[in-house]
Structure 1
């Protein structure tokens, strides 16, 4: 196995390998959304149901509504990541922004109510990617855990609903510890929870900056999961397109 070194120069992370040594990886950590659970598909199906039941009178069509929702989500999640707003507030802000784009003004209470209505649709469509269970079964003798940004109760509910709760020894959610990925603190916290060290732990995720560069900066061994064929930067040494490939690279 090889160890990883991470560094930061002018806010740009880079990753490089040391010479091989005898260290054996003995733990595995995963991201949740986009890595284990198909968030994009669940969101799209939920928004179609939500639009049909609650938004047909809006001055837009369903696909435009979905696009507005995604853009607003990225915008306000960025504000959450920078500490400008709380995770719970971005939900109402997202609804207000989307409906405002459709010429509808929502009060804060109405925005919160509509988002919770959307969540009820979203939960119905939670599902694992097909490669998740076969991958986890191969790794069953290895200590495993997850790290996720977001609402603790929702993320834990996802794991329970998809049958993953009992498969992980550590479930680390940003809301619980007060710092999101890519901060190295959340990765170190998870490694400590597993009782291992960063150099002995892989982290698998689909977000280049939050997951790959974040875990590398914490001294871990990142694996970039490119489910949709995203380009792989030259500084990323290990990438896969499916969890079926994971056992071949660790």
Structure 2
């Protein structure tokens, strides 16, 4: 059976995640957190551990934001404070957060870069005649700015501010398909997280595609069984270049 066989035909549309799927957000975070560590954390701090902590969101502050339970500034300040407390920095309160965030976010934005396979994948999908758009767990305006900065021409169809909540809620994926004019079962969703992206899209009735880039898994994803996901009807690829052929395009 082909990777696409579970839905019995070709897709009409493909929805793509942005962060760590099209854009190397992990790399941008690494640069931003290195600047934070140099300014605020002990000199012997392990930068890889700092990055893993930020991406893993151990207290669930970013996940609370994606559920519509808190605002963007609050979740980031709480994450910054937890990061400092974990690695020996001073607490980050309301009085010190703006300066912290100017360093972190300014460095982060200047470090945005696309993955080398992002534009070729989008071009290949369009050449195959499928509609393409973005569904993301960040604000629409932010992701539009990010994609423009890295030279990726895609419409951001659904962001966290579209419905007031984000992935893994099934409404988010279904709304993305609707905005592309495609039925969910004939729409693929491509993202870098096995649960929030591939499995959630699959459970919402789309074709879930996990981009399992070598060395890119978050700390809580190391034990994920890619073969088990395939057996459950999802598509697993190691880069965006594999997406069109994996979908039979």
State the TM-score bracket (shorter-chain normalisation). Answer: 0.7 to 0.9
Matched-pair contact (CA < 8 Å) for 1:149–1:173: yes
Counterpart in the other structure of 1:147: 135
Where is the helix percentage greater, Structure 1 or Structure 2? 2
Q: Say yes or no: does 1:158 pair with 2:146.
A: yes
In structure 2, C-alpha distance between the alignment counterparts of 1:177 and 1:82, rounded to whole Å:
10
Q: Say yes or no: does 1:196 pair with 2:196.
A: no
Deviations 1:200-226 (A, max 9, x none): 111111111111121112211111111
Counterpart in the other structure of 1:29: 15
In structure 1, C-alpha distance between the alignment counterparts of 2:114 and 2:237, rounded to whole Å:
17
TM superposition shift of 1:117: 2.2
Structure 1: segments with no counterpart, 5+ residues:
5-15
Matched-pair contact (CA < 8 Å) for 1:59–1:103: no
Matched-pair contact (CA < 8 Å) for 2:67–2:166: no
Which of the pair has more CA radius of gyration?
Answer: 1
TM superposition shift of 1:69: 3.7
Matched-pair contact (CA < 8 Å) for 1:179–1:185: no
Given the two structures, how large is their TM-score scaled by the length of structure 1? Answer: 0.81
Given the two structures, how large is their TM-score scaled by the length of structure 2? Answer: 0.81
In 2 relative to 1, CA 143–216 (structure 1 residues): closer, same or farther, beyond 3 Å?
A: same
Alignment of 1:44-55 (within 5 A): 44-52=30-38, 54-55=39-40
In structure 2, C-alpha distance between the alignment counterparts of 1:87 and 1:73, rounded to whole Å:
17
TM superposition shift of 1:115: 1.9
Q: Which moved more, 1:122-131 or 1:58-67?
A: 58-67
Equivalent residue of 1:193, what SS? helix
Matched-pair contact (CA < 8 Å) for 1:25–1:202: yes
Matched-pair contact (CA < 8 Å) for 2:66–2:160: no
Counterpart in the other structure of 1:88: 73
In structure 1, C-alpha distance between the alignment counterparts of 2:123 and 2:6, rounded to whole Å:
29
In 2 relative to 1, CA 193–3 (structure 1 residues): closer, same or farther, beyond 3 Å?
A: farther
Q: Which moved more, 1:217-226 or 1:68-77?
A: 68-77
Counterpart in the other structure of 2:60: 75
Q: Which moved more, 1:77-86 or 1:150-159?
A: 77-86
Q: Which structure 1 residue ranges, 4+ long, deviate > 3 Å from structure 2?
A: 1-4, 64-75, 81-84
Matched-pair contact (CA < 8 Å) for 2:3–2:234: no
TM superposition shift of 1:83: 4.8
Counterpart in the other structure of 1:182: 168
TM superposition shift of 1:62: 5.1
In structure 1, C-alpha distance between the alignment counterparts of 2:3 and 2:51, rounded to whole Å:
42
Structure 2: segments with no counterpart, 5+ residues:
216-223
Deviations 1:9-59 (A, max 9, x none): xxxxxxx936x3xx542111011111111111111122213333x226x47
In 2 relative to 1, CA 189–82 (structure 1 residues): closer, same or farther, beyond 3 Å?
A: closer
TM superposition shift of 1:91: 0.6
In structure 2, C-alpha distance between the alignment counterparts of 1:59 and 1:244, rounded to whole Å:
40
TM superposition shift of 1:60: 5.2
TM superposition shift of 1:179: 1.6
